[in-house]
Amino acid sequence: MIKNKHGKLTYESLFKQYMSGELKLEKYQKIGVLLLVIVLSGIFGWVYEFVFYYFDGGTGEFYMQGGNFLPWINIYAIGAVLIIIATQRIKRRPWAVFLVAMLVSGIVELIGGWLVYTMFDGARYWDYNTEILNFGNIGGFVCLRSVLFFGVSALFLTYVMVPFCIFLSKRMSKRAFLILSIALFTIFMVDEIYNLLASKVFGWQGAMDFYRSIGWKYLT
């Protein structure tokens, strides 16, 4: 690993090795980076939807997004992991990453939306039929605007988020990095499991009901 004259790892050198495929990571670093990417991509998705639906709802007010207490949406984390897997060998070609990410995200949205709609009696977690900029809309499950955004987001994921997480794994001690990545991942997974399973099985108050009870609105 190339370092500067003070013996410290530089981001520039790490990024070059990351792009060339020469970068070597220990097993704990690979696991920690993956956990951080899952957390950060879920947060990224929540922020995107929080901003987008402000405009989609007429710019009158902000609407709560997702079904968790914390600002995190699971399908963005799932999509990020799939995109990383699909583009691992082509990351030196941004245009290829963009196109493959569009394809992967479109398939995830189409299949995921259709399964929810089919299995839960017409339920939808998103519906492009009712949204702005919904050109290329297919059944409300996927549209051109969404996959274009995910293609651009994949560039951010591949060339900013992942290298940054790798940089943290190299600069932090093994203990500190594992504590950070595992703790953040655990916190968000507890929130996810509570709202996805526990609240429904035991009849406990979920995040959506809680936020509605304090005045937050969800765009329907």
Report CA 65 to chain centroid distance, whole Å: 14
pLDDT of the residue at 123: 84
Residue carrying the six token digits 């980076």: 33
pLDDT of the residue at 61: 85
Q: What six digits make up the tokens of 137?
A: 């809309």
Residue 145 and residue 139: Cα distance in Å, rounded? 14
The SS3 call for residue 131 is coil
Amino acid at site 186: T
pLDDT of the residue at 188: 97
**71 phi and psi angles, rounded to 5 deg:** -75, 85
Q: Are 42 and 74 in contact (CB under 8 A)?
A: yes
Q: For residue range 63-73, list pLDDT tens digits in order.
A: 888 889 999 99
Residue 38 CB coordination number (10 Å): 22
pLDDT of the residue at 2: 47
Residue 92 CB coordination number (10 Å): 10
Whether the model pTM is above 0.85: yes
Residue carrying the six token digits 């017409």: 122
pLDDT of the residue at 220: 61
Which residues of the chain fall below pLDDT 50? 1-2, 4-6
Question: Residues 57-68, buried b or exposed e (16+ Cβ, 10 A)?
Answer: eeeeeebbbbbb
